[in-house]
Amino acid sequence: MHLVLELVTPAGAVPVECDAVLFDMDGTLVDSHACVERKWRAWADRHGLDAGAVLRAAHGRTLAGTVRLVSPGLDLDAEVRWLTRVEERDTTGLRAVPGARALLAAMPAGGWAVVTSAWRRLAEIRMRHAGLPLPPVLITDDGELPGKPAPDGYLAAAARLGRPAGRCVVVEDSPVGVRAGRAAGMRVIGVATGAPAPDADWVVDDLTALRVRVPGRP
C-alpha cells in the first residue's frame, strides 16, 4: 500500500510518502488533557508530591513507568490499580483533537495503527467517547512490551500491518513518543497540542494540517 500524507503549511502542501501511519492516542488523536491532569494531581496530593513535576514526568509514559520514575518506593501494583480505576471512570472533557475524525475517516483499512501508553480498555473507552474509529491495529500497554521511549510498540505495529519500519510515519505529541518513533527508524510528525521533541521531522499545530491521499484511489 502506498500513501501520501500532505502537511499543509503556509508555503503549500508538503508530500510525505509512506506505507502506513502510526498514531499516538492521548494528545494526538484524543484530547484527554483534563482527565490526565485530574488523575495525576489527585495522585500527587495523596502522596504529598509536586503535581507539576509528576505531570511533566507522566507525559507519554505508562502509569507504571511514571510511578517508578517519580516515587519508586511506593507499592507499584497498588498505585497502578488506583490510577487505573480513576482513569477509566473519568471521561469528562474527552474529545477528538481537531482534524482527527476527518483524517482517520480518510485512512485506508490496513494503512494505520495506534500505539499508546494507555492499556487496551482505556484506549477503547477514549477512542469511542471521542467518536473515533478503533484502528485495525492497536498496540497498548498491557505489560508485554517496553513502554515509550523504547521503539518496541511502533515496531510491533509496523510488523502487524506488514509494513517496513522505514516506510512508516509516526504522529506524536510527546518527547518520549517522538524518541520512540525515531528509535524505530521511522519519520516523525510532531503535533504541537503537546510538547513534541525538537527532533521530530516536521511539526504541525494539530491534525487539521494533515491530509492523506491514496494514489489511484478516487
Catalytic residues: 24, 26
Specify the 3-state DSSP secondary structure of 22: strand
Angstrom distance (rounded) from CA 99 to CA 95: 11
Task: State the amino acid at position 119 in one-letter form.
Answer: W
Task: Write the secondary structure of the chain as one string of H (helix), E (strand) and C (coil).
Answer: CCEEEEEEECCEEEEEEECEEEECCECCCEECHHHHHHHHHHHHHHHCCCHHHHHHHHCCCCHHHHHHHHCCCCCHHHHHHHHHHHHHHCCCCCEECCCHHHHHHHCCCCCEEEECCCCHHHHHHHHHHCCCCCCCCEECCCCCCCCCCCCHHHHHHHHHHCCCHHHEEEEECCHHHHHHHHHCCCEEEEECCCCCCCCCCEEECCHHHEEEECCCCC
